[in-house]
Structure 1
């Protein structure tokens, strides 16, 4: 993906406080902002995001996150405003499986904008794009202690079950319809 790639839609979403934010495809130039946003997360939130201890996002990891394989993956990000202008607030990512039917979702949001409904809107749009791309099932592995993410998944119609491989995690699954 290049900074001028327009294969995914841009949208304006309205937060619960009435402010409007741009939701757009991630770009390679977002890597430094992604690194700063990751640092804004608490150690527990970083754990929830990666499901293991990653104290900081390396430049190489940030660049990899900002250049998804567009044949099966995509990521939508929310642009900041005011004191966070030029920063990425978070967003939703879809990572497609090689079988072409299943995809994994993930969501991240800076603490400054939590509780505004932005994660829900970003994930909802990402799931719509996944269904339109032909994915039939979305899933995510969530720490059992991450109540916010579990609640978001339930709100969006995901079924929650124990992860058979890790008692500290649950699996959220949802059938996608175009």
Structure 2
């Protein structure tokens, strides 16, 4: 009976590896913003150019932090997916019960959620911190789920594409 669950779960974890956790090119840190300079209207006195607002463009350090945090979360998701796939294959050989598999999956997901939360704490950009914190909370949903394998097929697979879309500078 268990073997019917482990095979699809292994395939699901492998699919998560390739589903999203890819750098989209929009993750690259921008160069430092140009400093405001003086402009002179035709025949007039020079005037100072408007200062950019703090929210308009991130600093190079902030952009680098965002890139590092987003890449670290991607790596955590990929590594956890590999671990889950490997554990699922191993569980088939060891003939674990569904309850044992659920416990194993919940343990993997709890560790992943904690690791993702650690990355959220590192994020300097409040928007990125919120995205990564929300991802950790989504993963907590898998830990709390009656069937984490079912949760993975319906919710976990949505996380990598979301990170690709929302976790960037």
What's the TM-score, normalizing by structure 1?
Answer: 0.26
Structure with greater strand share of residues: 1
Q: Which has the larger radius of gyration?
A: 2
Q: Answer 1 or 2: which has greater helix percent.
A: 2
> Relative contact order (C-alpha < 8 Å, sep 6+): which is higher?
2
